[in-house]
Amino acid sequence: MSSHRTLWQGRPLTRQILPFFPALLVLLTAGLVAVLMSLVHSAETQSEQERTIKDVLWVEQDLRFLLTTTQERMSGLSNLAAAGDMDKLQRQAVALLNAQSELSRIRVLDAHGATTLSIPPIGNPAAMARGESQRQKAISTARALGRATFSAPFLTPTGEMGLEVLAPVFDGQVFSGAISATLSLDALLTRHIPWWFAENYRLEILDTDGVPIVPTSRIGSDTVSLAAAHTMVFDPPGGGLYLRATPYPAQGKRSRWLILTAIGVLTASTVGSLVALARHIRRRLKAEQALREEIAFRRAMENSLTVGMRARDMDGRITYVNQAFCSMVGYTPEDLLGMKPPMAYWDPAGVERAQALHDAVLAGNGPSEGFELSFLRRDGSRFDVLVHETPLIDASGHQTGGMGSFLDISDRKQMEDLARRQDQRLQHTSRLITMGEMASSLAHEINQPLAAVASYATGCLNRLRSGRYTVPELTDALDKLDRQAKRAGKIVRHMHDFARKSSPNFSPLDMTTLVREAVGFISRDAVQRGVRLTIEPAAPTPPVIADRVQIEQVLLNLIRNAIDASPASGGRGSGHARVTIGIRLDSGGVQVRVRDYGDGIPEETAAQLFTPFFTTKPDGMGMGLSICRSIIEAHHGHLWYEQAEPDGGGTVFCFTLPCQTQPAPKTGGLPEETQ
């Protein structure tokens, strides 16, 4: 038996782990690349955040200084209002509006928040009502704090976000009103942010919920990343507002990120491949474990087989044998593996046939039903095997060789040979019984030519003794004597051929002639039984390849059975006491039909009609139809019966034989007889 070693079986642990070292190194490299990317990204992010914080602090301080200055100037206006110098207040208010373009309006409010003076004048009082609630809250805060303060942001009549700077006015200790300046946050960011800051950052004012209410940017928020943004409290004005600066991505940074992204993608692909490889290795290890178990199971199963198994490649070299095959031929697996044709166990007398079958199987033209070969054991003893070969197909669908199973059929062939000899004896016995049954008819057939011979011989002797004769008279008498003697000899030879044991002799036969000879052989017995034998006219048929004696035996058996089944001449009338033999050509070859006009075959009898030793005759052996079927099937023909037409009744026994143009029967398929 061939040995199979798996990939991992018996290997040390280090050798099992060694194939994974390259994968571990690649994984480590991928980790180092990931760490490097993280460090670079962290360093750049930290540097960018630090720069952003510095720039935002600078802008925030600038805006804070501006707003603080505005608060101080509004406090100065509140002092003028407290002193009652309204003319100076108006002049300074106009100057403040001209100096700070982000301020759109300055108003003087009374203690109840009502506008007493507006610079410039109010054109749409309804629009000025916007932000009233924020204004009242800011007035209360300024009154409580005693200094200028800012209101919450609101939407101005121009559609921009704004807030008010309110400075309280006290008459002594009594709150008498406030000075209000409307400040546009959009104008504040647009007009007081340096160009270099606006080129590099997107600056936004956020409300208490973190929602941008005042952006100042030439680039949309979806093009920047908030990861590097910096947010700080916008105080003043306070009130929960925040400043957020987000740097725009630089072109060089984008290229670097593209490179880093490509490295990251490649690293991720490598890691993914390693993960897939690890899974594949695990699956492979599981599959190999399952394969080891399967091999162990198959080895145990193969060791229990009595059928020999052998595999070979496309060159005919043996690649696998099981123990049963080794025991069958007497060689060890080491002797057989790698052996090429001609094999050592082939029978020298059949090497050419074995080689031809070997090549046909590898070419895919081997017999599907199997074939028989004769093998030699190592000790020289010969035995027969039945071989079944199938192609070995790999996973891609290509043939890589062949697998054959070998069954020792020596015992079976011995039993078949014994059965064949018994069948031969039964056939011979059947013919002898037929000869015995036709003894009187055969004696009459022989007696006629012998009586004629004796009569012609006596006449010739009398003429010779009397001396009164002529040469033509004697010549004519002797010719008739010769013909009758030859006729008697032919009858004797026919009886001898029919009765003796002989080997099958296949030759082209004319079926019409053979039927006529068989009818002539049994006609005397039919006349004595009151049965008329009729050969139906038929068109000429091609010859058949058959053994004359065996087919004649089938005909005689079927005709005698038809005579036995026919009614007697005094029973149902002479019209029914007849047997017809027809010959025709059909697709299966030449068909012979033997019909009687009896009562037919009952259904309970039909099922066992061809069973050996089953008979309906009181003195029958029950082997006639069984032997007939064996002979016809050995000739590659077919024997069956049919119920005759309703008009005449009876039964028709039919058999077919292949024509001469069809493949002839093999001699080994017929029961051979020996002299």
Number of Cβ within 10 Å of residue 399's Cβ equals 14
Q: Is residue 404 part of a domain?
A: yes
CA distance linking residue 186 with residue 190, whole number of Å: 6
Question: Are residues 183 and 299 both part of a single domain?
Answer: yes
Same domain, 58 and 72: yes
378-382: average pLDDT: 87
In a domain, 333, yes or no: yes
pLDDT in tens, 15-65: 556 555 665 776 677 678 667 767 877 787 777 778 878 888 888 788 888
98 falls within a domain: yes
The residue whose two tokens read 């079944």 is 388
Phi first, then psi: what are they for 265, rounded to 5°? -65, -45
| Pair 323, 288 in one domain | no
Helix H segments across 304-409?
A: 323-329, 333-336, 351-362
Structural domain count, the chain: 3
Asked if the structure places residue 284 within a domain, the reply is yes
Examine the fold and report which residue of 393, 408, 423 is the final residue of a domain before the chain moves on. Answer: 408
Q: Are residues 192 and 148 in the same domain?
A: yes
Q: Answer whether residue 76 is part of any domain.
A: yes
In this structure, are 277 and 237 located in the same domain? yes
As a whole number, mean pLDDT of residues 634-660 equals 83
How far apart CA 437 and CA 456 sit, in angstroms, is 31
Q: Specify the pLDDT at position 4.
A: 43
Band (594; pLDDT cuts 50, 70, 90): very high
Q: Copy the structure tokens of residue 341.
A: 């044709």
pLDDT in tens, 135-193: 778 788 878 888 888 887 877 777 778 888 888 888 778 888 888 888 888 888 877 88
Domain that holds residue 531: 504-675
- Spatial CA neighbour of 591 closest among 605, 580, 581: 581
Query: For residue 592, is pLDDT > 90?
Result: yes
Q: Are residues 232 and 335 in the same domain?
A: no
Residue 673: per-residue pLDDT? 35
> In terms of Cα–Cα distance, which of 518, 383, 522 is closest to 442?
522
One domain for residues 512 and 580 = yes
The set of residues, in sequence order, having a beta carbon less than 8 Å from that of 510 and lying 6+ positions away, is 541, 543
Three-class secondary structure of residue 146 per DSSP: coil
- In which band, very low, low, confident or very high, does the pLDDT at 668 lie, cut at 50, 70 and 90? very low
Structural domain includes residue 398 = yes
Please indicate, yes or no, whether residues 52 and 165 belong to a single structural domain of this protein: yes
C-alpha distances (whole Å) from 371 to each of 10, 361, 407 are: 42, 11, 11
Q: Domain boundary residue among 303, 338, 359?
A: 303
Asked if residue 468 is part of any domain, the answer here is no
CATH of the domain at 564: 3.30.565.10
d(CA 179, CA 164): 10
Residues with Cβ within 8 Å of residue 480, at least 6 apart in sequence: 452, 456
Is 390 part of any domain? yes
Say if residue 266 is in the same domain as residue 311: no
Residues 288 and 384 in one domain: no
- Rounded distance between C-alpha atoms, residue 101 and residue 123, angstroms: 19
**Which tokens hold the place of 226?**
């908030």
Is pLDDT above 60 for 209?
Answer: yes
DSSP secondary structure code for residue 413 in this structure:
H
CATH of the domain at 186: 3.30.450.20
